[in-house]
Structure formats: structure tokens, C-alpha cells
Amino acid sequence: MPADDYARSGVDTDEADRALARLLLELSPTQAYGPRMEVGVGHFAAVIRVGPLQLALTTDGVGTKLLIAELAERYESVGIDCVAMNVNDLICVGAEPVAMLDYIAVERADPEVFAQIGRSLAEGARQAGVSIVGGETAQVRDMLKGAVEGRGLDLVGMAIGVVPDGGLIDGSTIQPGDALLGIESSGLHSNGYSLARAALLQKLKLDEYVEELGCSLVDALLEPVHIYVRQAKALAEASVRVRAMAHITGDGLLNLRRVEAPVGFELTSLPEPPPIFQLIERLGEVSRGEMRTVFNMGIGFAVVVAEADADKALELIRGTGLDAWQIGFAVADPERRVRLVEERLVGTSKHFTPE
């Protein structure tokens, strides 16, 4: 596939950036109307001060992964995904997630589909330690068309967390030489599905067993997102000096560029991408730079700590049941470049390109 195939599959990130810039320009005056923003637009979560509390806020959805759920008539993981995409952003600013709302829009309100979504939202909430305190549903048949007639669905969440006094994390304290740790993902998580579908579904059937995956294609594509709240808590409770955290979603490891400090990152020891990514890369003839831009490639969350704390942090993370590695280190760089040394790729904006 050519390098712009993600745009051809339906996601033009450059156009989206231009549209977002226009939206933010119109919204910027509203910051004067309410509470002071401690961390604003561009971070993983917004942080505002309300009286003595610092509240972190996020909103996110499941995206076109829902089209796979619709085709398979399986919704047992999408609620977990919705919770994960929100709470994983909250913890990046040092917040403890406390509550969520959800919004479900459908072509047709099917009680069994709602029951499956409800169970999966509840499981995600259990894993994250949050309460789902309300939400909204809407039947919008004329607005929403899914992969199968009558099954169109969108699932979005909003989460809130509390940042303890002195606990705000924005990446401003990163020093050159700090260790960059990567925590394993469970697969695609909930990003890049337009490209994944374009690459895979022309050559494989959803219910087909794929030897290199060790399961059916649909099982791999519906694997729920890892929720990283336990890992963040383990580090906080052990008083590890966390300098930054990054949820690796769309844009891949370029999410590391959201930190406040004028640093870049040299990634020298990335693990081999799991089989699902290799399958997309091969069948879709997708360049490695495009793969690194669109997908997490096996690293679902990243943590920056002082080099002296790296071994302790890795031990704590692995003690929660997930694998983790030291994948690189911070370097002084006002351009905030992310270099993948072994793959000879560099990211300076929204794309990884060959050096």
C-alpha cells in the first residue's frame, strides 16, 4: 500500500488536524468562562481546578472497531474498550479515575446488543475501579449507518478523575537521560481499524482461523484494550518518580511528543511487533513508517522515569501481570523528535518517515 493508504481507507489525519485547528480556534475564548485550566488542550486529559480539587476530564470512543463487532454480532469487548480509551488518558496526567458517563447511538435499540454492551462496560469499570454514573442513548436511524443494515452503532465515553495535590504529571520535569519504559498492548487496541480492515478483510474472512495469530481473525480484532490503571497505581504507591506517561493510541509512539519538556526520545530496544501487526503490514503491503504512525505496534502505554528508578519500575509493572521493557531514553531536543534507531525512522510531527 502507498504511504497515504490510511487516508484512502477513510482517515485523513492531515485534513483532520486542519479541521481540529479551526475548531480549537473557535473554542479558545471559552477558557475564560469557567475554572482555570491546569493542563489544557493537547495533553491526554484536560485538568481544571474546582475549589480545592484538580479534576481531570477525558472523552473518547471506540471508533470503527465497532464495525467488526457489528459484522460478528459480538459486543463483549467494546465496552471495555470505551472505558480503557478514557481512563488510560486520565492516568497520563496523574489522575485517579473515579467515574464515567457513556453515550450509545444506534440505528435500532436492540435489547440484547444493549445487554452485551452494558456487561462489557461494567467489566471495564471493574478493571478501572470507576463507577458508571449515567449516560445517554439515542436512536438516530437516518444519521447512522453501520456495517450491517439496522446494526449501526456508536459508543463514546467521558471520564473524570482527581489529581492529588502535587501529583500533576505533564512531562515538564523530564531530563535528558531519563528512561523510557514501554508496557505491552493486547493488540490493535482501538486505533487504526480503517487501515486494518482495508488490509485484512479483502484477503481473509473474519471467522477464519489464522495460524500465525493462533486464533480466528475476529478474535484478534476484538481483543479488548488493556486498562493501565493498576500499573499507574503500582508506581504511585511505591513512590516511583514518574516524569511522564503516554497512552499510545492513534499516531503511535508520536504520542510521546505531548510532553511539556523540550526533549525528544531515542528508542533503541523496541520489542518485535506482535503477529497481528505483522499480518497487516504483509497483507496490506504497508510501509513500516505508516505502521508505526497508525498503530501501537505492541506498546500500549509508555512511562518516563529517572534512570535510577527504571529497574524498580519495570519490576512493579511486571508484578501486575503485564510485560514491560526499557525501550529508550530522553534526549535534549526542542523539536521533540522520536527516533526509532533500529528501524531508521524519525517522527517530527504526525508521521514517521525514513531518516
Rounded average pLDDT over 214-231? 98
CA distance 76 to 66: 11
Q: Report the alpha-carbon distance of residue 70 to residue 94 in Å, rounded.
A: 35
pLDDT at residue 43, as a whole number: 85
Residue with the three cell numbers 537521560: 177
Q: If pLDDT is split at 50, 70 and 90, which confidence band does 1 have?
A: very low
- pLDDT tens track for 74-127: 999 999 999 999 999 999 999 999 999 999 999 999 999 999 999 999 999 999
- Residue 242's DSSP bridge partners are 305
Q: Give me the architecture of the 179-354 domain, per CATH.
A: Alpha-Beta Complex (3.90)
Where do the domains of the chain lie?
35-163, 179-354
Instruction: Take residue 91 and report the three cell numbers written for it.
Output: 492516568
Q: Predicted confidence band at 40 (pLDDT cuts at 50, 70, 90)?
A: low
Tell me, yes or no, if the pTM score tops 0.75: yes
Lowest mean pLDDT among 10-19, 116-125, 142-151: 10-19
What is the mean pLDDT of the segment spanning 252-280? 97
Helices and strands: H and E segment counts in the chain: 11, 16
Instruction: Inform me whether the pLDDT recorded for 196 exceeds 60.
Output: yes
**Residue 99: per-residue pLDDT:** 98
Report how far apart, in Å, the C-alpha atoms of 71 and of each of 22, 117, 169, 205, 227 are: 35, 15, 40, 11, 25
Give the pLDDT confidence score for residue 20 in this predicted structure: 76
Q: Which residues contact 277 (CB under 8 A, 6 or more apart)?
A: 188, 291, 295, 297, 298
Summary mean pLDDT of the chain: 93
The 10 Å Cβ neighbour count of residue 271 is 14
Gap between the Cα atoms of 79 and 123, Å rounded: 8
pLDDT at 28: 80
State the burial class of residue 25 (Cβ atoms within 10 Å of its Cβ: 0-12, 13-18, 19+). exposed
Q: From CA 125, how far away is CA 127, in angstroms rounded?
A: 5
Of 3.40.50.10420, 3.20.20.80, 3.30.1330.10, 3.40.640.10, which CATH number belongs to 35-163?
3.30.1330.10
d(CA 259, CA 229): 20
Q: Which three cell numbers stand for residue 207?
A: 471467522
The pLDDT, as a whole number, for residue 349 is: 82
Residues in contact with 313: Cβ distance below 8 Å, sequence separation at least 6, in sequence order:
179, 181, 235, 240, 242, 303, 305, 324
Distance between CA atoms of 62 and 1, rounded to whole angstroms? 25
Backbone angles phi, psi at 258, to 5 degrees: -80, -5
CB 338 within 8 A of CB 304: no
d(CA 242, CA 327): 16
What is the rounded end-to-end Cα distance, in angstroms, of the chain? 20
Q: In sequence order, what E strands does the chain have?
A: 37-39, 46-50, 53-61, 96-106, 131-139, 153-163, 179-184, 209-210, 215-216, 242-247, 263-267, 299-305, 324-332, 338-340, 345-347, 352-354
